[in-house]
Structure 1
Amino acid sequence: MNRYASQLDHEIHRFHDGSWQRVSDQLAIEEPLEIRISHVEGGRRKKTPLSITMRTPGQDFALAAGFLFGEGLVSRRDDIEEIDYCRDVPSEAERCNTVLVTLRPGLEVNLENQKRNFTTTSACGVCGKASLAALAMDGCQALPVSTKISAATVMGLPGALRAAQRGFDSTGGVHAAGLFTPGGDLLALGEDVGRHNAFDKLVGERFLAGEAPAFERTAILLSGRASYELLQKAVRARIPIVASVGAPSSLAVHIAQAFSITLAGFLKPGGFNVYSGRSRIRD
């Protein structure tokens, strides 16, 4: 198997119209990715393991950059000197599942706030007031309400996202996050078996291209539900409009209200629900 492949052929038995068939199916590959950083501390450069997350191989560097940006460890493109697969690991399999992000000298790295993610997935975290306080302490502020989007455009986002999902077409087993203009044009797409990874890949790709944080006139669509972790990422990326095919959690709504984010959920051809920031959506 190609260690960097995102899909895998697998022979299955399919029952259809009263009979069995032996056919080939495409599976979305899920493998662990360890993210490490190289940073200067006390005048000496050291390497620190940050997180292990289950992901679909591909866009690994964007995933790592998006994760660091979402956690507040980097804020500008030049905070990252280099991203590469680790070379000091014993096997090729481990090498392509371990990414080392080299941070620039002089960058202060506060790892205390990120300890919750060191050896867990990016889906884990603290809840309630602590998460809101952490965002406020990191300097996150309410988003401006100048960006507007029409209700018709919101309803058209799932179709536009679905049309661009090559990974889902092949496997049916990956989530997606799509970044759109207020007019409904797709700017970027992230796909992964993990919802949080899809978001990080999307943001990380733009970050590495020097285009982040420059999201204040965009909207993002999530293929699943809207959790508080994803709203935290939206706050850090300064994305004012978040829409999801599924339901938002109560804390996701709380974060959206606290930071003036428009949050829409249960997107269907005939309508959607708005949980926060109704003023950004035109009839």
Structure 2
Amino acid sequence: MTEMTRVGPTTRIRVRELSGSTSRDRRDDLATEEPLEIRLTSPDGARRTVAITMRTPGHDFELAAGFLHGEGLVGRGGIAAIAYCTDEDLPPEARYNTVTVHLHGPIPDLPALDRHFLTSSACGVCGSASLDDLHARCTPLPAGSLSLTPEVLYGLPDALRKRQGVFGKTGGLHAAGLFRPDGTLVALREDVGRHNAVDKLVGWASLSERLPLTDHVLMVSGRASYEIMQKALTAGLAVVCAVSAPSSLAVDLARDFGMTLIGFLRGERCNIYAGQERITT
């Protein structure tokens, strides 16, 4: 068998840099973007591709597990094993871009599987197209005892940024961080797609049997979209913070399901779009 080549999270190239009236050639690190195909297999030998997403290589098994959990395709405990695909129909260079998720039971017979999820690092997953779909499989989150001080909120963006190792090299990656209410960082994942970063984080929690993530806070480096709020909801995350703006549907989702949504979290200011009762002002 031909040796498999694994691509890393960064790719080094040569660039020409212009500065004023001078130029020079130098090396530059880019965030790697590669496709990942997610396949499901069952004990009876059935096999099906459910998603193809553009992502930054790394934590691929977590990405697959988080995606399946967020879309309601495979629940907690439904995964027997995850491995890179070694099927003979794949060329060697593609095998680290294909993940096979082995299930304990049959492949779910859901309408969502009638179409393949085609996702990109830019647009997000379009599997659940409306709040009505989400209401059919999720319930509002309880109020709980989680509360945050403004001081903790203001410290989250810097704490996230300081731990973004690949971003420090490339300047071109999103991040999702999981925090405790006192501001302690629990886990962080990076990806060219903001929704992929969240999937990797949720997948980490799922594979390590930490779901649901009650009493935790999600911090994302970009905007808060409907897809990110959907993934947070299915993981039990009641508080989502974003450096940039939320979308209108993200706000609707937060208000419908009793979540706290904070946007424009920069310096010592932010906007609370939903769930202000969890912030002690």
Instruction: Give the match's secondary structure for 2:158.
Output: helix
Three-state SS of the structure 1 residue aligned to 2:169 is helix
Q: Distance in 1 between matches of 2:117 and 2:36?
A: 12
Q: For 1:278, give the aligned amino acid.
A: Q
Alignment pair present for 1:39 and 2:37 = no
Equivalent in the alignment of 1:258: 256
Displacement of 1:209 in angstroms is 1.1
Tell me, yes or no, if structure 1 residue 210 matches structure 2 residue 209. yes
> 2:86 is matched by which residue type in structure 1?
R
Task: State the alpha-carbon separation in 2 of the partners of residues 260 and 175 from structure 1.
Answer: 26
Match of 1:123 in 2: 124
Distance in 2, Cα, partners of 1:117 & 1:145: 37
Match of 1:98 in 2: 98
- Give SS of 1:100's match: strand
Query: Relative to structure 1, is the Cα distance of residues 224 and 10 closer, same or farther in structure 2, using a 3 angstrom cutoff?
Result: same
Question: Cα deviations across residues 199-249 of structure 1 (Å, max 9, x unaligned)?
Answer: 000110121111122x11001111000000110111100101000011000
Aligned to 1:136: 135
Partner of residue 3, structure 1? 6
Task: Report the CA distance between 1:143 and its aligned residue.
Answer: 3.4
CA distance in structure 1 between the aligned counterparts of 2:6 and 2:239, rounded to whole angstroms = 36
Aligned-pair distance for 1:14?
1.2
Q: What is the match of residue 229 of structure 1?
A: 227
Q: Name the SS for the 1:96 alignment partner.
A: helix
Asked if the contact 1:116–1:125 (Cα under 8 Å) also holds between the matched residues in 2, the reply is no
Contact 2:71–2:127 at 8 Å: present in 1 too?
no
Contact 2:51 2:117 in 1 (8 A): yes
Residue type at the aligned position of 1:95 = R
Report the count of equivalent residues: 275
Alpha-carbon distance in structure 1 between the residues aligned to 2:8 and 2:201: 19
Counterparts in 2 of 1:150-189, with a 5 A limit? 150-189=149-188
Distance 1:170 1:234 in 2: 28
C-alpha distance in 1 between matches for 2:117 and 2:266: 37
Secondary structure of residue in 2 paired with 1:9:
strand
Q: Structure 1, residues 122-181: CA drift from partner, whole Å, max 9, x if none?
A: 814267xx6222222114333324210111111110000000000100111110000000
* Letter in structure 1 aligned against 2:201: L
Structure 1 pair 139/108, CA: closer, same or farther in 2 (3 Å)? farther
Give the TM-score taking structure 2 as reference length. 0.92
Q: Distance in 2 between matches of 1:255 and 1:282?
A: 22
Matched, 1:56 2:56: yes
- AA at the equivalent of 2:100: L
Question: How far apart are residue 46 of structure 1 and its match?
Answer: 0.5
Structure-1 residue corresponding to 2:78 = 79
Q: C-alpha displacement at 1:17, in angstroms?
A: 5.0
Q: Is the 8 A contact 1:10 1:27 kept in 2?
A: yes
Letter of the 1:31 partner, please give it. Answer: E
Moved more, 1-10 or 237-246: 1-10
Contact 2:262 2:274 in 1 (8 A): yes
Deviation at 1:193, TM superposition (A): 0.4
Instruction: Report the Cα offset of residue 3 of structure 1.
Output: 2.4
Name the SS of the counterpart of 2:245 in structure 1: coil
> Does structure 1 residue 219 correspond to structure 2 residue 220?
no
Look up the equivalent residue of 1:80 and give its one-letter code.
Answer: I
Percent sequence identity is 44
SS at the partner of 1:45?
coil
Q: Match of 1:278? A: 276
Question: Which residue in 2 is equivalent to 1:22?
Answer: 25
Q: Who is 2:236 aligned against? A: 238
After TM superposition, give the deviation of residue 18 of structure 1 in Å: 3.8
- The secondary structure found in structure 1 opposite 2:42 is strand
RMSD: 1.9
Residue ranges of structure 2 left out of the alignment (5+ in a row): none
1:192 aligns to 2:195 (yes or no): no
Gap regions ≥5 residues in structure 1 = none
Aligned partners of 1:140 and 1:236 also within 8 Å: no
Q: In structure 1, what is the Cα distance between the partners aligned to 2:237 and 2:173?
A: 23
